[in-house]
Amino acid sequence: MRKLWLAAILSLMYVSSFAQETLCGNGLDDDNDGFIDCFDGDCFANSICKDFYIGQDKPCQDIPIKPADFSLAQKLASPDRTTSTWGRIDVGDLDADGIPEVITLNPADKKLYILKGTDLSIKYSAVTSGIPEYYDHVIGDVASSTGSGCARIFIAEVVGGKYFITCYDCKANKL
Ligand SMILES: [Ca+2]
Ligand SMILES: [Ca+2]
Ligand SMILES: [Ca+2]
């Protein structure tokens, strides 16, 4: 009897090690390997997965003949404290003059900056009502989309523990 159990266990192990994802469009991980349908390598050749991106790598490498020599040099810098080290920027043509502006925030100073895209000098600035939060989510809609020639900037601020969305125009005037 013990031999029968051992044979059964070994048979199951043999079957599971060779199990395959044969149903590639049923939304299930049929062979319990953690990959479902076209995400499973067993399905790469299945016609259902012919346009799937996994397993369909294109030969588009361009291997350099020798390591490329290059260097980086800073071309422009904004004035000190016009942003925070962990903040992100938004870039857009806020006043439809064909030159992009750069929107930044400094939460520590409670300041909003609109910088000139040509030299990163300060074009406009505003003191925010509260502390800008989610300062990497400043949104400036492009001027052409508003029809006014002056885009709007939305930022989240915290005042007294409450969150507010504040709107500024392309010259950092609070609306
Ligand atoms: Ca499946
Ligand atoms: Ca699978
Ligand atoms: Ca502009």
Reported as a pLDDT band with limits 50, 70 and 90, residue 68 is confident
pLDDT in tens, 7-25: 444 444 444 456 788 899 9
CA of 99 to the centre of ligand 3 (A): 4
* CA pair distance 99, 96, nearest whole angstrom: 7
CA of 17 to the centre of ligand 1 (A): 16
Distances (CA, A) of 75 to 2, 72, 101, 118: 78, 9, 17, 11
pLDDT of residue 12: 46
pLDDT of residue 139: 65
pLDDT of residue 2: 57
SS3 4: helix
E strand map for 25-69: none
Nearest ligand to residue 97 Cα: 3
Among 11-20, 45-54, 79-88, 100-109, which stretch is predicted with the lowest mean pLDDT?
Answer: 11-20
CA of 55 to the centre of ligand 2 (A): 14
Among 33-42, 50-59, 74-83, 106-115, which stretch is predicted with the lowest mean pLDDT?
Answer: 50-59
Among 3-17, 47-61, 126-140, 155-169, which stretch is predicted with the lowest mean pLDDT?
Answer: 3-17
pLDDT over 50 (residue 153):
yes
* CA pair distance 80, 111, nearest whole angstrom: 12
For residues 41-67, give the mean pLDDT. Answer: 82
CA of 123 to the centre of ligand 3 (A): 10
For residues 147-164, give the mean pLDDT. Answer: 86
Nearest ligand to residue 26 Cα: 1
Is 108 or 11 the better-scoring residue by pLDDT?
Answer: 108
E strand map for 4-100: 90-92
Nearest ligand to residue 140 Cα: 3
pLDDT of residue 142: 63
Lay out the sheet containing 90-92: strands in order across: 90-92, 101-106, 111-116, 122-127
CA of 7 to the centre of ligand 2 (A): 25
Nearest ligand to residue 31 Cα: 2
Nearest ligand to residue 28 Cα: 1
Is 157 or 1 the better-scoring residue by pLDDT?
Answer: 157
CA of 122 to the centre of ligand 3 (A): 13
For residues 83-98, give the mean pLDDT. Answer: 86
pLDDT over 80 (residue 33):
yes
Return the structure tokens found at 15: 């079957």
Return the structure tokens found at 115: 């910088």
CA of 17 to the centre of ligand 2 (A): 12
